[in-house]
Chains A and B, each alone.
Chain A
Amino acid sequence: METKLNTCPNAEQTIVGYIDGNLATADHIAFERHMASCSVCRTIERELRMTQTLVRTLSSAEPRQDFEARLAARIADVKLKPSPWWMRFALPSYVKPARRTHVAIPVVAMASVVASLGFAYVSRVPTVKAGAVQTAAASDETTVLSELANQHHAASASQSLGDTSGVVVVASDMATGGSW
């Protein structure tokens, strides 16, 4: 016949505590008093105690003799397993991955920032403002170049096709400072 605790709703944890010797002295005495008048709790306590005794008869089991050797081989495999490049920093492999990650993430982030700034610097558009002298010089230069170009076109137009001597003349004149 199944023995249940229907009549003692709070007895579940008390019985366990009583069997395992985990009740406070007052609770222990109170439960013994209760069992004296409760055949259900008395029966359950006896059966569960016997069950516990049975479970404790199970023999202990031992791992195989070569446990350590096989473990060492498996750990060597773990060590050899490639890790992401950004985790391969100069920390002892024994204390990877947590600490490596803690170091690697800020390092990689900083490297990215530096690389971005460098790229931005190299590929920047010049924004230096020209001074008054530079502006005047640039203006004069533009005028001279424009005149030279016009003269070149005029000279080229009067020559036959395929004659490129005008270009040479202009260039040599510019180099010597003369005019033509």
Chain B
Amino acid sequence: MLHLQDITKVYRRRQEEVVAFKATSLDIGLGEYVAVVGPSGSGKTTLLSMLGGMLSPDTGKVWFGGESLYDLPINERTRRRREQIGFVFQTFNLVPYLTALENVQVPLFLHGVGKSEQRDRAVSLLEQVGLGNRIEHKPSELSTGQQQRVALARTLANNPRLILADEPTGNLDPDSREAVLSMFDNFVREGRTIVMVTHDPGAAARSSRRLCLNDGMLVTPHEIHTTKAA
């Protein structure tokens, strides 16, 4: 599903160059649950941004579903992201002045779904994540666990094939963390691909494959494949 070919991404600051990410080849297959681990500043978020079509590499190509993502015009790349990729953020990134329902409706509106269908699907998704009785609540009126569940419902709104998660359990209490990771297990069972950046060894252990990054390089010996029963 995803293939990275001869990728380098370099950040330049005050005549100083830092290799943020470098990989000659990396494949992520359909339905894989990949955890990306590594110390802060090792290039995890850079990798996630490049996989999401939001950060073009300096060299190489990112193939997504057989298309070179960064050879597409920006609007086409945006469309791929809108239709096929879902994001989960550490701090949830909910729009603070919108209700839970409206937050879930945002990707549907961006996709051009009609108003009544937007509402029906958003209500259904919020019920799926156990927030059917909180649809009119704003993020500030929800606990962090509930906010992450709203964010997950928003991620699922356009039924993405690929979910890119950046520290999805980083701000959660143990119960909420477990709830989110269970949902991720379900997503994989449904055939979706997940690439999750995490510092949480427990969360990484739930994945089917782990990629270890250090100074922007994939540390091959630490790449661990598990045949985890879903």
Query: Is chain B found bound to chain A in the same assembly?
Result: no
